[in-house]
Structure 1
Amino acid sequence: MRNQKLRIMVEVAVAAALTFILDLIVLYRMPQGGSVNLSMLPTIVIALRYGVKVGMVAGLIAGTISALPSPTLVHPIQFLLDYPIAYAVLGVAGLCRNRRILYVVGAVMAGVLRYFSHVLSGIVFFGEYAEGPVILYSLGYQLPYIIPSTILVSVVIGLLPAIVFQPSVAPPVSKEAA
């Protein structure tokens, strides 16, 4: 049991590190923040392996770490919505963890929730950039990077072999080793 918890913690740490790296590999960057990349992938894989709770913790850590290189910070609540919360909601993909056929659905659900976290941040904290109704501006601003990122991650999820999504199980400890 202890080995299993340690293994999960190590996998969450590795996923957070991978998120950091994937967040730096940008296919397209929006002018005021946001980019098309695969940064959602590690957290969604963790959620599909271990469920919502572990997935959300992994996302919370990954989102916080992904802010390190160049965070956009106008208010503490905005920071939470755009980084830790936006990645923590990716853990909902874990709702689909026991059905391989639903993994892509889980990835899309996660992307949609991340989208709404960024939209809320945009409405509350970035309305000054709006040319017209702030809600429509924020809804529209987030789409050009969240939709392609979600599609990209969903395709990769669909192509990954099933073994990637199976939880790690620590081998039993023999009495001789103990």
Structure 2
Amino acid sequence: MVKNKLQVLIEGAIISALAMALSYIPHSTGISSIEILYGIVPIYIYTWRRGLVAGMGSGLVWGLLDLILRGLSSGSVLNVWQGILEYPLAFSVLGLAGWATPLIQKKARQHLSWGLMMASGATALIAKYFLHFIAGVLVWGSFAPKSMNPWLYSFIVNGGSALASLIFLGIVLFLLRPVLGRLIKG
């Protein structure tokens, strides 16, 4: 049992590092504030393989790495509460995709349910970008164009990022179909 826990922790650390490394690939779309999260793919696969708690832990580590390596160094952290909300907390909720882990693993033995995987991934992305939306209104709203309501600005930027990341997830999961079952089952 101890060996299995250690294996889960090591996998989580590797997945967090991979997600962080993927953050360094340019990921902005046409509008510079709308970004695609490439790291959600390894985080979700790990979450579907190891469960909700392990996924949230791996997301937390990714969020802390992103806070230290990119957030603080780029000046994207304006105060402590915004830093906690947009980094460790927002990245941790990506593990919420694990609500469907038992169903996805059961299906992995037969035939994977792409729809179930997308639904669990969307749930986690909505939770993550809801936290960014709140931070966008409270902290980043002052950066909205002068004639635009901060609520609308935050909704457009964070909703666009969530939608772009969800489309990316769908495409990658579709392309990984032949091997996805083996990745999830272990």
- The two structures share one fold, judged by TM-score above 0.5: yes
Query: What does 1:6-155 align with in structure 2 at a 5 Å threshold?
Result: 6-28=6-28, 31=32, 35-71=35-71, 72-100=76-104, 101=113, 102-131=116-145, 132-155=148-171
Structure 2 stretches lacking a partner, 5+ long: 105-112
The one of 158, 162, 174 equivalent to 2:181 is: 162
Do the aligned partners of residues 23 and 34 (structure 1) sit closer, same or farther apart at CA in structure 2, a change above 3 Å counting? farther
- 56-65 vs 93-102, greater mean Cα deviation: 93-102
> For the residues of structure 1 that align with 2:171 and 2:94, how far apart are their CA atoms?
16
> For the residues of structure 1 that align with 2:26 and 2:102, how far apart are their CA atoms?
31
The TM-score with structure 2 as length reference comes to 0.81
Contact 2:63 2:88 in 1 (8 A): yes
Contact 1:20 1:65 in 2 (8 A): yes
Structure 1 stretches lacking a partner, 5+ long: 169-178
Q: Report the alpha carbon displacement of residue 34 of structure 1 after superposing the two structures with TM.
A: 5.6
Q: Report the alpha carbon displacement of residue 98 of structure 1 after superposing the two structures with TM.
A: 2.4
> For the residues of structure 1 that align with 2:24 and 2:150, how far apart are their CA atoms?
29
Q: Deviations over 1:90-130 (max 9, x none)?
A: 11110111233111211111111111111011011112112
> For the residues of structure 2 that align with 1:39 and 1:122, how far apart are their CA atoms?
21
**Cα RMSD (Å) of the superposition?**
1.8
Counterpart amino acid of residue 147 in structure 1 = L
> For the residues of structure 2 that align with 1:6 and 1:158, how far apart are their CA atoms?
31
Q: Report the alpha carbon displacement of residue 144 of structure 1 after superposing the two structures with TM.
A: 2.8
Q: Deviations over 1:70-105 (max 9, x none)?
A: 211101111112111111111111011123311121
- 21-30 vs 123-132, greater mean Cα deviation: 21-30
Counterpart amino acid of residue 173 in structure 2 = I
The TM-score with structure 1 as length reference comes to 0.85
Q: Match of 2:108?
A: none
> For the residues of structure 1 that align with 2:86 and 2:25, how far apart are their CA atoms?
18
Contact 1:40 1:87 in 2 (8 A): no
Do the aligned partners of residues 12 and 95 (structure 1) sit closer, same or farther apart at CA in structure 2, a change above 3 Å counting? same
Counterpart amino acid of residue 35 in structure 1 = E
- 86-95 vs 65-74, greater mean Cα deviation: 65-74
> For the residues of structure 2 that align with 1:27 and 1:8, how far apart are their CA atoms?
29
> For the residues of structure 2 that align with 1:122 and 1:139, how far apart are their CA atoms?
8
Contact 1:108 1:154 in 2 (8 A): no
